[in-house]
Amino acid sequence: MVQRTLDRDAVIYVAGHGGLVGSAIWRALEAKGFRNLVGWRSSELDLRDSQATANAVRDAAPDVVIVAAARVGGILANSTAPVDFLNDNLRIQTSIFEAAHAADVDRLLFLGSSCIYPKYAAQPISESSLLTGELEPTNEAYAIAKIAGIIAIQSYRRQYGRHWISAMPTNLYGPGDNFDLTSSHVLPAMIRKFDDARENGSTVSLWGTGSPRREFLHVDDLASAVLFLLDHYDADDTVNVGTGEDITIRELAETVAGVVGYEGDTQWDADKPDGTPRKLLDVSRLRGLGWEPNIALRPGIEATYAWYREHVK
């Protein structure tokens, strides 16, 4: 196991620090005693602009870059705007990688997504499944961009000797999530739908059959894994980050309804797509390095719902 503990005085640029993932990483860094943190909101820096990104990174002179910036969304957003998801993510990634290389940043961690793996990959999905089959059509544009990011990391390592790494988290949730019903992922969308229905006395309608199985990781656990990998991992291969456990979407709905206190009916619209039948990550590589998640699903949903009620509702 590699041991390259980060200097607490290191300048760390967290790209996307205002989002769900980036804000969790920022909190984790602060909790560990890191104080020289750098980040720009999208209103301050458009990461699709390569020259502006290069200038900003050059001036900040970071020792470490963590790439949590991305255009993200659920099935509806991905299936209706694939060009935007492909182009924006490719531009963001390329801008940051080029800027980091030009600024001689030797340590970088790129975060992708479990949607990079084939739709019908053997379960649980190991890192070696990458590029072995067809992708899920509803989010293949986003997945292709993330796959390009992984290849870019490997290419910078091979051509320039950079100590850059990549990690692929499973489905994430937690404080700071997006609860907009047109662009959110399944878990925050459920929280909002069930909460609204509880208050309005209405029925909840959910996409698909409820049969697909999904794995969910609290974003604070992901942040913990990111810091762990920066201290303990330095290799070409990407690393899966997850819990190693999954549930059906129907079971997730029942859990969210219980947390929210919704006691009405739930209808399933089988005419809407289910997406990938199952997506459970093989996390043996990360666990072999010594990392484990700490936040169980129901307590994590309870904390997320409390955050939603306080900050969004």
Dist. CA 125–CA 280, nearest whole Å:
6
| 313 within a domain of the structure (yes/no) | no
Domain range for residue 108? Answer: 12-175+216-244+279-295
Q: How confident is the model at residue 184 (pLDDT cuts 50, 70, 90)?
A: confident
To the question of whether residue 19 is assigned a binding role by annotation, the answer is yes
- Residue 1 — pLDDT band, cuts 50, 70, 90? low
User: Is pLDDT of 201 > 90?
Assistant: yes
In a domain, 305, yes or no: no
313 is in an annotated binding site: no
Q: Rounded to a whole number, what is the distance in angstroms from the first to the last CA of the chain?
A: 45
Determine the pLDDT at residue 183: 77
Residue 182 lies in a domain: no
Q: Is 286 annotated as a binding residue?
A: no
Q: If pLDDT is split at 50, 70 and 90, which confidence band does 298 have? A: very high
Inside any domain, residue 255: no
- The answer to whether residue 85 is domain-embedded is yes
* 268 within domain boundaries: no
* Residue, of 74 and 23, whose pLDDT is higher: 23
291 is in an annotated binding site: no
Q: 258 lies in a domain?
A: no
What integer pLDDT is reported at residue 3 of this predicted model?
Answer: 67
DSSP secondary structure string, 68-116? Answer: -------HHHHHH-HHHHHHHHHHHHHHHHHHHHHTT--EEEEE--GGG
Q: Give per-residue pLDDT as tens, 143-166.
A: 999 999 999 999 999 999 999 999
Instruction: Give the model's confidence band at 277: pLDDT under 50 very low, under 70 low, under 90 confident, else very high.
Output: confident
Q: What is the CA radius of gyration of the chain?
A: 19
Q: What residues are annotated to the active site?
A: 142
CATH number at residue 80: 3.40.50.720
> Which segments of the chain are extended strands (E)?
12-15, 37-38, 64-67, 107-111, 163-169, 171-173, 204-207, 213-214, 216-218, 239-241, 247-248, 266-269, 278-279
Non-local CB neighbours of 200 within 8 Å, separated by 6+ positions: none
Q: How many domains does the chain have?
A: 1
- Is the pLDDT at 2 greater than 70, yes or no? no
Q: What integer is the mean pLDDT of 91-119?
A: 97
Query: Per-residue pLDDT tens for 89-103?
Result: 999 999 999 999 999
DSSP, residue by residue, 174-195: -TT----TTT--HHHHHHHHHH
**Type and span of the H or E element at 209:** none
In a domain, 1, yes or no: no
Structure tokens that stand for 225 in this block? 């894994």
- For 285, phi then psi, to 5°, come to -65, -50
| Tokens 């988290």, located at residue | 169
**Ligand-binding site membership of 73 (annotated):** no
Report the percent of the chain where pLDDT is more than 90: 89
